[in-house]
């Protein structure tokens, strides 16, 4: 079965006799208009992440369910704003052993980093009517996801609770956070090293991302692979600085005292705007492990 040529969800559900790791009947539902619409959305995402999923799965590991949402927090909403929706859109793949999280740039394009949460790391789950789905770790740290479809939130509570009851005995070995994975070999990566100790894949540095944005907002985003967003931000800052310099030159030509005129904008733009953007870029770069090379997950995978 060539996954890329599948156009309708029902074609996947009818492949139950074929050897594949997905429980398509459970992932996709066609019993209502809302369910069919959600399944169509899932199919678009699954086409994007399928090559990586096939590479990642261990022997005997199966995919029971999948959905998507926005990984976020109140502090991110306050200080970062709408940009977090670009960096935090995630696909969640629930397997027989763990939850795999894939960064998405859109429903048709995979993002840069991959993470996982093992069931033994999770203490409990919660959801509310506002679309929030929250995982609580054993140290009581929470990670929230927004815009998770209501149908999926309801199912996941029923699906995860029995698994968590069986996994709670391993709480002593749990890690109270999302585990970052090497984008090439999927090895668990601690901290933010320059390369993977297992496959030598080179990683982008959060510090470098911060310094680039300190030089000019937008450069950090370009470095992290978000070229469209980065160039938009860079052009915006160039326009602002061009206007500022033009104003200074005009005031100088008029013979005005420009010392105070220079001091205020320099303080504002360099120590505030540039500084805030540098902190933002460094923070976003620590969302996961960003590879410093293009990785082709379709290689050696035919469907």
Task: For residue range 109-123, list pLDDT tens digits in order.
Answer: 888 899 999 888 888
Mean pLDDT of the chain: 82
- State the Cα–Cα distance between residues 73 and 87, nearest whole angstrom: 13
Nearest by Cα to 31 from 43, 23, 39: 39
More confident residue, 260 or 142: 142
Whether the predicted pLDDT of 245 surpasses 60: yes
Residue ranges per structural domain of the chain: 3-177, 191-303
Given this model, what pLDDT does residue 15 score? 64
Given this model, what pLDDT does residue 301 score? 41
Given this model, what pLDDT does residue 303 score? 45
Whether the predicted pLDDT of 299 surpasses 80: no
State CA 278 to chain mean position distance. 19
Task: For residue range 189-218, list pLDDT tens digits in order.
Answer: 988 999 999 999 999 999 999 999 999 999
The structure tokens listed for 215 are 């030089």
Cα distances (angstroms) measured from residue 199 to each of 184, 203, 291 = 8, 11, 12
Task: For residue range 250-298, list pLDDT tens digits in order.
Answer: 777 776 666 666 667 777 777 788 888 898 899 889 989 999 988 876 5
Sorted by sequence, the CB contacts under 8 Å of residue 254 that are 6+ apart come out as none
* Class of the CATH-defined domain 3-177: mainly beta
CB distance 21 to 57 below 8 Å: yes
Count of Cβ atoms closer than 10 Å to residue 153 Cβ: 20
Task: For residue range 31-48, list pLDDT tens digits in order.
Answer: 888 888 999 899 989 988
Q: What is the 3-state secondary structure (H, E, C) of 250-289?
A: HHHHCCCCCHHHHHHHHHHHHHHHHHHHHHHHHHHHCCCC
Q: What is the mean pLDDT of residues 2-26?
A: 73
State CA 48 to chain mean position distance. 14
């Amino acid at each position: 079965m060539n996954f890329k040529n599948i156009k309708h969800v029902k074609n996947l559900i009818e492949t139950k006799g074929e050897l594949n790791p997905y429980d398509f009947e459970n992932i996709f539902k066609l019993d209502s208009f809302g369910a069919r619409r959600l399944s169509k959305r899932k199919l678009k995402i699954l086409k994007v992440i399928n090559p990586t999923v096939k590479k990642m799965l261990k022997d005997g590991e199966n995919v029971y369910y999948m959905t998507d949402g926005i990984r976020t927090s109140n502090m991110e909403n306050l200080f970062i704003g709408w940009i977090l929706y670009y960096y935090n859109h995630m696909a969640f793949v629930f397997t027989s052993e763990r939850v795999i999280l894939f960064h998405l740039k859109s429903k048709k394009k995979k993002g840069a980093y991959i993470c996982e949460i093992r069931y033994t790391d999770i203490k409990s789950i919660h959801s509310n009517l506002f679309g929030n789905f929250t995982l609580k770790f054993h140290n009581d740290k929470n990670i929230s996801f927004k815009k998770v479809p209501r149908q999926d939130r309801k199912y996941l509570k029923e699906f995860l609770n029995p698994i968590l009851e069986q996994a709670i005995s391993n709480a002593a070995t749990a890690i109270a956070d999302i585990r970052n994975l090497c984008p090439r070999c999927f090895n668990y990566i601690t901290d933010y090293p320059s390369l993977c100790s297992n496959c030598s894949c080179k990683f982008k540095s959060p510090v470098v991302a911060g310094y680039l944005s300190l030089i000019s907002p937008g450069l950090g985003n370009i470095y992290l692979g978000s070229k469209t967003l980065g160039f938009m931000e860079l052009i915006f800052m160039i326009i602002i600085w061009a206007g500022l310099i033009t104003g200074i030159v005009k005031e100088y030509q008029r013979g005005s005292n420009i010392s105070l005129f220079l001091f205020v904008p320099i303080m504002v733009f360099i120590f505030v705007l540039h500084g805030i953007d540098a902190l933002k870029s460094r923070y976003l770069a620590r969302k996961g492990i960003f590879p410093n090379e293009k990785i082709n997950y379709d290689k050696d995978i035919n469907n």
